[in-house]
Amino acid sequence: MNYYGDPVNKLIEQFSKLPGIGSKSAQRLAFYIINLEPEKVLEFTNTIIEAKDKIKYCQVCCNFSDKEICEICASSKRNNKLIMVVEDPRDMAAYEKTNNFNGVYHVLHGLISPINNIGPNDLKIKQLLERIKNDKPTEIILATNSTVEGEATAIYLKNLLSMFDIEITRIAYGIPIGADIQYADEITLAKALEGRRKF
Amino acid sequence: MNYYGDPVNKLIEQFSKLPGIGSKSAQRLAFYIINLEPEKVLEFTNTIIEAKDKIKYCQVCCNFSDKEICEICASSKRNNKLIMVVEDPRDMAAYEKTNNFNGVYHVLHGLISPINNIGPNDLKIKQLLERIKNDKPTEIILATNSTVEGEATAIYLKNLLSMFDIEITRIAYGIPIGADIQYADEITLAKALEGRRKF
């Protein structure tokens, strides 16, 4: 039985393709859109089309940007000999908010994940190699997450980049600041011990 | 600092206006859309525009439909003297799936909720009154949820419809089938006791 008519069903189907949206949420979103004023719906679709149209990857770091070269890569205040490799633009934003890093970034747009059929060629690794050849950085910081995929990608990159004469570093994992040691998980504790430094 | 460019920020803002989508989910959805193939993005926006364009309210029951009169209201097999009033098209669909109701529906598209600034005039109540005058039903089943807003709307409708010579009923609330009494909340238990019937 077709309860709502085909155009609604198609809309529900489209919403349920989005990541993290199940069938109930997709219904809720579809009904919300249909109950909106027509001009609000047009505003929504135009914003999507405009973003898709105007946003490209920065030609240097592969972050999203509406310019050929993003603000960070174009800035003369940043040290382009120090490149932090991140999975996602959100990781880049998180580091920027610390105001504690004056190097530049390289956004992979994913992690190596054989189970999801994502290999090195699906990431922005070719662009990273090009960049290293051109800009001759002195240090590459591998700042992928400490998940299985994040570790695998970091190890892959470490091996790949060993052909260049660059220092390859990995961000530190350990007890988060303010956290209680007795509640930390075993792997975090082991990492904190392994990464101990002279005091 | 503008990390991703204005078109991305606008897209994130649009997504975060959707119900149940917080700022982190909105970012995730925006990045997903930007990483999609252009034709997939067009398919998404066209489906939204088409649904908004083609879907209207059924002129009888106010459910979503791509026809003037929805399949249920147009069916000669349904008893249009028995009208079930529901909050939302999804409630209608839930009852349809039981295959246990051969009356027709009336969809309010919301509940009275002063805290959210939703009054009786924001719901499809005027259409219900028109319909009662035309179709002269014998019974109206109030099937709104047993929440504060659902109860308030049911009481409002009961008072309003008392001017007609129709039986007004309310669906039963009690222990769900298969549920364990010891885990039921007090209000459900009280409702189950209050609604007890001769065995």
User: Which band of pLDDT confidence, cut at 50, 70 and 90, is reported for residue B147?
Assistant: confident
Q: Hey, are the CB atoms on A45 and B49 less than 8 Å from each other?
A: yes
Polymer length of chain A: 199
Q: What is the CATH number of the domain that holds A180?
A: 3.40.1360.10
Contact between A6 and B66 using a beta-carbon 8 Å cutoff: yes
Q: Does residue A11 sit in the same domain as residue A80?
A: no
Nearest CB neighbour to A49, from listed B4, B29, B45: B45
Q: Residues of A with CB below 8 A from B14's CB?
A: 43-44, 47-48
- Flag whether B109 is in a domain: yes
Give the whole-angstrom CA distance, residue A96 versus residue A93. 5
Q: What is the tens place of the pLDDT at every residue in A34-58? A: 989 999 999 999 999 999 999 989 9
Instruction: State the pLDDT at residue B185.
Output: 83
- The reply to whether A97 and A21 lie within a common domain is no
Query: Does residue B120 fall inside a structural domain?
Result: yes
Contact B73, B98 (CB under 8 A): no
User: B159-169 pLDDT, tens per residue?
Assistant: 999 999 999 99
**Domain for residue B64, yes or no?**
no
Is the residue at B34 inside a domain? yes
Question: Cβ–Cβ of B11/A49 closer than 8 Å?
Answer: no
Statement to judge: residues B77 and B126 lie in one domain: yes
3-state secondary structure of A141: strand
- Report the distance separating Cα A162 and Cα A87, nearest Å: 20
Residue B67, in any domain of the structure: no
CB-nearest to B5 from A35, A64, A93 is A64
Residue A67 falls inside a structural domain: no
pLDDT at position B63 over 80: yes
In a domain, A109, yes or no: yes
pLDDT over 60 at A1, yes or no: no
Q: Do B28 and A19 touch (CB under 8 A)?
A: yes
Residues B69-124: tens digit of each pLDDT: 999 999 999 999 999 999 999 899 888 888 888 999 999 999 999 998 999 999 99
* Confidence (pLDDT) at A121: 94
Average model confidence (pLDDT) across chain A: 90
Range of the domain at A14: 6-54
Q: Is residue A62 part of a domain?
A: no
Q: What is the predicted ipTM?
A: 0.77
| CA distance to partner chain A, nearest, from residue B102 (Å) | 14
**Chain A residues whose beta carbon lies within 8 Å of the beta carbon of residue B20:** 25, 28-29
Q: Are residues A46 and A94 in the same domain?
A: no
Are both A100 and A43 inside the same structural domain?
Answer: no
Q: What is the C-alpha to C-alpha distance for residues A137 and A104, in angstroms, rounded to an integer?
A: 10
Cβ contact, residue pair A66, B10, below 8 Å? no
The verdict on A48 and A83 lying in the same domain is no
CB-CB neighbors (< 8 A) of B3 in chain A: 63, 89, 92-93, 96
Q: Determine the pLDDT at residue B59.
A: 94
Say if residue B30 is in the same domain as residue B102: no
pLDDT digits 0-9 by tens, A77-110: 999 999 999 999 989 988 888 888 899 999 999 9
B192/B123 same-domain check: yes
Strands A167-170 and B56-57: unpaired
CA B142, CA B158: separation in Å to the nearest integer?
A: 8
| Alpha carbon distance B190, B65 (integer Å) | 39
**Is residue B1 scored above 70 in pLDDT?**
no
Q: Is there a single domain that holds both residue B33 and residue B87?
A: no
CB-CB neighbors (< 8 A) of A90 in chain B: 27, 31
One domain, residues B49 and B138: no
Q: How many domains does chain A have?
A: 2
Query: In 3D, which of A89, A102, A21 has the Cα closest to residue B3?
Result: A89
Question: CATH no. for residue A11?
Answer: 1.10.8.420
